[in-house]
Structure formats: C-alpha cells, structure tokens
Structure 1
Amino acid sequence: MTSDKPPGAEFVIGAAAAVGAGFFTNPIDVVKIRLQLQGELEARGSYRKVYRNTFHAAYLIARHEGLFALQSGIVPALGFQVVLNGTRLGSYNLAKRYQLTLNDDGETNILRTVLVSGVAGSIGAIIGSPLYLVKTQLQAQSAQTIAVGHQHNHGGTISALKLLWQNGGFLGLYRGWYANIPRVFVGSATQLTCFGLFSDWLRPMEIYNGKPILLTFVASLLGGSCVAITMQPFDVLATRLYNQGTDVKGNGVLYNGLFDALYKIFKTEGIFGLYKGVFPTWLRIAPHTILCLVFYEKIARIYNDLGN
C-alpha cells in the first residue's frame, strides 16, 4: 500500500471489505445464534434438542421459515460490519502502514498488535451496539415450532430500533452495550495478531512469491480458525445478553451482567454451554476472515492502481 493514501481510505476500504464478507457469512451467523440459544440455562440432556447440529439447523430454518430466513438480520448485520470493521481494520492497517504494530525487523509485534486491534475493535463494537442488538434479536426470531430463546417479535430493523427507543431512549438502544466488548477484543486481537504472525511465517516461502492474495488467503484462514476457539465463550455470552427479555424497567430477566451470565451458564450448562455453536462459529469466522482480508487486499490494490 502506498504511503500517500489518505488516512481515511483505510476505514472506507475496511468497511467495504466487511460488507462483502458479511453478506456471504450471515446465514451461518443465523444458525450459530439458534444453536447458542438452544437449551438456555437448562442442564445438558434435560431438554429437547430442536436443532441436532449445524446442518440440521439450516435445514429446519429453510423448511419452516423459507430460504430468506437464513439472511435474517442482514441489514443491521451489514451496518454493524461497516461500523466495526471500518474502525477495526482501518485502525489496524493504518497503524501497520506507519509501522506502529511492527518490530524493528518489520514483522508483527504481538503486544502492539493485540492492543491496537483489540481496542479499535472494542470502540467499533460499542458504537455499533444498537445494530448488533437488533441483529441478534432478529436472527433469534423464528417459527414457533422451532423457536429457541426469547422471541422479541420485531417487524424489522426500523421497527425494532423504534421500539427500543420508545421503551428506553438512548439507554434502550444501548442496552447491554458492554456484552460485545470482551467478544470483539479477544476475537479482533486473536484474528489480526495471528494473521500478522502467520503472514510473517509464510511470506519467505517460495510458493507465495509474487502471490499476495494467496498469502492473505492462507494466513487469514489460519488466523480465523484460531478465533473460533478463543472467542466462542464470549460470543455465547454476547448472544444471551443481547437476546434476553427485559422487565418493565428495562432490566434483563435472566442475567444481570457479564459475570452473572458467565456464572449461570457455567453452573447450569457446564463448560460445553459456553461452547455451544462452536462449529458454526468456525464455519462463519474462518470464511469471514478470509473474505474480509482478501477483499481488503483486492480493494486496496484497485484503489492504489486508480491513484497511480
């Protein structure tokens, strides 16, 4: 990337790349949400499994709700991608461009990359929290016969945002805003740090000479796979906190916060409860990471070519 690129370009390119990736991976996100809500606060083996696995869940959703149901919440999902990855990828690539995340050898500095990517991701997550809230609730909505978790019965993105505003104003829109911070900090830091480290490791190999897209593809696949393991418990926490019902005062009826949710889920569902939906998480985050970073690389190159 050229050094004369306007700083704001990184943020625009990051947002555009994430929207492209999000469109393709949203169906897996819908499946993941359903599996994470199945058997909420019920002991393992004590409830009927509506969804037996990832593929069965996708089949049931398409059968009972139609194929378009697999793109539930796509509008707020893509809006969240613009905010999150415009901030996160923009900050990461801008910092990398000015060598703020590199060591003296021009390779990834782990601590700096973790801090830049984690903090930037957290800021994006907080700003975009209302969109993630609506996205989660819309993706959880389903036909009564296959419903799991609390059903908010929103009519769509706009009506959901209006309802949240009417019931709680600004605080209503930002209900549970803290729930996504550990998820995005850990996920972002893992993804981009591992991507940088794998890129450094793979780059000297002859197979990648003159093939930056191939290098980005492989490094992002490896980095994205790491995310599924580290982020999953925090992903489950975020889904549960954002989707839970509220009382007349706007307080959650199941969980009082992150630590309360962590305690209750672990106590009733065990460690496996915190890893519900881990396969669709990997099935989503690995391709999402690949598409996001490859799209970024391609868009940035097109931008540079147009500017030369």
Structure 2
Amino acid sequence: MQQKGAIQIIEWEDLDKRKFYSLGVFMTLTTRATVYPASLIRTRLQVQKGKSLYSGTFDAFCKVLRSEGVFGLYRGFMVNTFTLVAGQAYITTYELVRKYVSHYSPSNTVKSVVAGGAASLVAQTITVPIDVVSQHLMMQGQGEHLTRFKAKPKMILAASKRRLTFGQTLDITMQIFAADGFRGFYRGYVATLLTYIPNSLCFYLLLHDYQLSLLAPSACPHLILQAVAGPMAAATASTITNPMDVVRARVQVEGRSSVIETFKQLLAEEGAWGLTKGLSARIISSTPTSVLIVVGYETLKRLSLRADLVESRHW
C-alpha cells in the first residue's frame, strides 16, 4: 500500500479481486437505483423545449409521480442495469491505469486524473448504446411526444391501466435499428465523450483541491474529508459540463447528427439559459453518486483488501 502522509492508499495489487468485483456490482447497482429518478427527470428537462412540459426539477418530479406513479420514475431502469458491466470496466480501467501511470509519476492526483479520463472513455464506449435505448424509454409517458420512437404500451387488465413492460425495450431497440442501423446505438457518442471525460477530469482535480482547501482539524478522518469534498467536486464538475450534457441528450433523443448544430440551435431557441437545463437534477443525482464513488469506493477497497494485508491496516 502506498503511503500518502497519514493516509494509506490501497492500490490494485493489494486487492482480493473476487471480493472487489462481487461487492463492486452491489455498490454500482445500489448507486444507480438511488440516482435513477433524478437522471430521468434531468433527461426530460433537457429535451423539452423551453418549459413546455415542466417548469423545473420539483415540478417534473411531482408531475411524473402524480401521473405515472413511482414506476414512471424508473422507466428504462431494467435495461439501464446492463451498464453494470460498464461500471466494472470503469473501476478496472481506473485501477490498471493508476498502476501504469505510477511508473511515470508518484503524484496521486496525476494518477487519479489520468485514470479517471481513461476509465470514462472505456465505460462510455460500453454505456452509450444502453443509454440510447434507456433515454428513449425515459421519455415515454408524458415526454413521448419529444422522442422519435414511441413504445407500444400493453394493457394489463388486472390493473386496468397502461403499464410499460420489458417487451417495450425490444420494441424501442428494433425501432432504433430499423431507422438508423447499428450506428443509431452510438448516436451522441462524441457528445458523450465530450461530457463525461471532462467531467471525470474535473471531478478528480477538484476533489484533490477541495480536500486541500477544507479547513478541517488534522485529526479529521480522511473518509469524512472525502465525503465533504466529493459532493462539492461533483457539483462543480456537473455545472461546468452541463451545457454539453444538454447537447448530448438532445442528439441522442431527437436523432440529431451534429453536436455543433445542436449547440447553435439550442442557443438560438432558448439562449444561454437553455444550457442550464436539468442542472439541479444533475447535481441532485451526482451528490449521492460522488459520496458512493469516493467514500463507498474507498470502503469497498478496504473490504476487499487481501487477507495477508488486513493486519497492516491503520485508518
């Protein structure tokens, strides 16, 4: 384990990989289930024209809950769970790149920033096709008029109301393939990379800076310091990258092909204010995510420490 002041940094070679991956899947699934409603609200806010459907995050949450129920907040969640693969790819890439960069730089910040960017590239390459399908499912219900593809709802007579079923995932998938071919599942890939790689770089840079700037007692546990700095870094990174996230959502849901033209049209139609669409929902979703990434991930690594190193832990 690398020593950094009084902090012991657990590196890739210190981990019991079986524990690491099994606990990692649980942590990733828990995170996604927690933040998914905010992600759905964010997508609907970003895609709507002006305030044609919702006036804000709270209004959107209330309207979805009232008209579509709790189920409405989890539209597309089942297909989104396939991104668990991307989550494992992210943490594997992150740790392996950290190990590689350590041969060239001893700085923990440099290792985290480079590894975070590389991990985002790998994870988003896996995630984008799942996100494309998931976002179209998110837009069903109140937002279905804003998307190119509309799922065919099935009647469940026992409930005497419309409910979306898993079969609609296949329905949307086939519609995307019929309209755009395989490339349709990577629509918005460039915009996604331009959103999430800078977001990851900003997050790790700001996380380091905020930890240094916090006026905490020297005896303050490192995890507490991270728990405070994490949400601050996530909120700042989300604010910086939100304009591109709005463009990404519109490219994927509306079927646009040009990032630049989408950006120009957004500015022309809604002005600079349009670039802030869904920001509060994005910050709401990024806060628990950042805590779980920073604190949860650090705890995950501690729980996954190799048996022969357990006695050497001093937290």
Calculate the TM-score normalised by the size of structure 1. Answer: 0.79
Determine the structure 2 residue equivalent to 1:124: 123
Contact 2:234 2:287 in 1 (8 A): yes
Distance 2:19 2:248 in 1: 30
2:94 to 73, 92, 95: 92
Distance 1:265 1:178 in 2: 17
- Counterpart residue type for residue 190 of structure 1: C
Determine the structure 2 residue equivalent to 1:164: 176
Determine the structure 1 residue equivalent to 2:186: 174
Contact 2:79 2:169 in 1 (8 A): yes
Q: Deviations over 1:244-295 (max 9, x none)?
A: 1xxxxxxx4xx33111111111122111111111111111112211123322
Q: Which deviates the most, 120-129 or 191-200?
A: 191-200
Secondary structure class of the residue paired with 2:27: helix
- Change beyond 3 A, Cα 1:175–1:124: same
Secondary structure class of the residue paired with 2:194: helix
Distance 2:290 2:132 in 1: 22
TM-superposed CA distance for 1:156, in Å, is: 3.0
Distance 1:96 1:295 in 2: 19
TM-superposed CA distance for 1:242, in Å, is: 0.7
Determine the structure 1 residue equivalent to 2:73: 70
TM-superposed CA distance for 1:200, in Å, is: 4.9
- How many aligned residue pairs are there? 284
Determine the structure 2 residue equivalent to 1:152: 149
Contact 1:96 1:102 in 2 (8 A): no
Determine the structure 2 residue equivalent to 1:195: 207
TM-superposed CA distance for 1:168, in Å, is: 4.4
TM-superposed CA distance for 1:132, in Å, is: 0.8
- Counterpart residue type for residue 90 of structure 1: T
Determine the structure 1 residue equivalent to 2:263: 262
TM-superposed CA distance for 1:207, in Å, is: 4.4
Q: Which deviates the most, 131-140 or 114-123?
A: 114-123
- Counterpart residue type for residue 206 of structure 1: S
Structure 1: which 5+ runs fail to align?
245-251
- Counterpart residue type for residue 90 of structure 2: R
Aligned counterparts, 1:208-227, within 5 A: 208=220, 211-227=221-237
Secondary structure class of the residue paired with 2:146: coil
TM-superposed CA distance for 1:27, in Å, is: 0.5
Distance 1:102 1:289 in 2: 28
Secondary structure class of the residue paired with 1:52: coil
Determine the structure 1 residue equivalent to 2:297: 296
Distance 1:87 1:192 in 2: 18
Q: CA RMSD in A?
A: 3.0
- Change beyond 3 A, Cα 1:102–1:215: farther
- Change beyond 3 A, Cα 1:101–1:56: farther
Contact 2:194 2:244 in 1 (8 A): yes
Contact 2:216 2:225 in 1 (8 A): no
Q: Deviations over 1:90-110 (max 9, x none)?
A: 333444456639954x4423x
TM-superposed CA distance for 1:120, in Å, is: 2.5
Determine the structure 2 residue equivalent to 1:249: none
Structure 2: which 5+ runs fail to align?
1-9, 152-166, 311-315
Secondary structure class of the residue paired with 1:156: helix
